[in-house]
Amino acid sequence: MKALEAEFVKGFVRMCSDGWEQGWHERNGGNLSYRIKEEEIQSIKKDLKFDAPWQEIGTSVPQLAKEFFLVTGSGKFMRNVPLDPEANICIVELDDKGEKFRIVWGLVNGGRPTSELPTHLMNHEVKKIASGGKHRVIYHAHCTNLIALTFVLPLKDEVFTRELWESATECPVVFPAGVGVVEWMVPGGKDIAVATSRLMKKYDVAVWAHHGLFCSGEDFDITFGLMHTVEKAAEILVKVLSIRPDKLQTIEPEGFRQLARDFKVTLPEEFLYNK
């Protein structure tokens, strides 16, 4: 089968287009990666070419050695992915140490995978282990409201988690582990990848201050839905804070404990502090 006919490629392309429609991907902002299943890569093997040079990832992900990933290209616009997938996304294979990659499909007009490849791969490695192999999607978006909050809320996991949870009742059910926050750092390298993947051991969501958000999930729907839920909660909070600086009423810690019991989720007490 041709890669473009494969369901996982179609799902990936649709997610890029959905993110663009949300307004999260100005210019080349944001990137997406998918850890391809063995049977999926076998189904398109005839469409792959194994003659491109190996290149350094810039970090080491030994637990992902020899795996294949579908990723957006660096400098490519999400808006253009559905119009010409082969020119804007690519499949990379990792070497047997998890230190190098080579392009085996896509980016037909040249280019390289996203500059955030180190963060994507280090997140994949952490989430593969933590989820017993279930997580396959890492998504980075420049969500407007969430970014706005990083200028006015303290950059602490417990503050972002609690404020987002309070903003919409579904939030603690959708991301019960909470969200982690990375203070402002230069993007595109190993340092921010290490800081982000450390948080991803605990959370499925990592905020990059004054930049955007990383989400991890099992499939495209779950991961897109997670990004959407976090950004919707951020939008509500931005609106609340724009009306007045304090809330007249909100969901209280005891309410979260009741929610946890009824929806059978574990909400860590560290986020249910008295204000």
28 binds, among ligand 13P, Zn ion, none (CB under 5 to 8 A by kind): ligand 13P
Per CB under 6 A, the list member of 29, 189, 225, 253 interacting with ligand 13P is 29
Give the largest CA-CA distance in the chain. Answer: 63
Q: Which of 115, 131, 145, 250 binds ligand 13P (CB under 6 A)?
A: 115
| Count of residues that interact with ligand 13P, criterion CB under 6 A | 12
Cβ-contact 176, 200 below 8 angstroms: no
For residue 32, which of 91, 98, 96, 104 has the smallest C-alpha distance? 91
Whole-number Å distance between alpha carbons of 57 and 70: 15
Nearer to Zn ion, 210 or 261 (CB): 210
* Residue 251 near residue 262, CB atoms below 8 Å: no
Q: Measure CA of the first residue to CA of the last residue in the chain; give whole Å.
A: 57
3-state SS, residue 193: helix
The one among 31, 33, 59, 196 contacting ligand 13P by CB under 6 A: 31
Q: Which is nearer to Zn ion, 3 or 182 (CB)?
A: 182
Closest distance of CB 30 from Zn ion, Å? 6
CB of 75 to Zn ion, least distance (A): 12
For ligand 13P, what does the binding mask look like between residues 71 and 110, x meaning CB under 6 A?
-x-xx-----------------------------------
CB 104 within 8 A of CB 93: yes
108 DSSP 8-state letter: T
User: Mind telling me the catalytic residues?
Assistant: 116
Q: Which amino acid is at 36?
A: I
Which of the stretches 64-72, 171-179, 211-219, 250-258 binds Zn ion when contact is defined by CB under 5 A? 211-219
Is there binding between residue 196 and ligand 13P (CB under 6 A)?
A: no
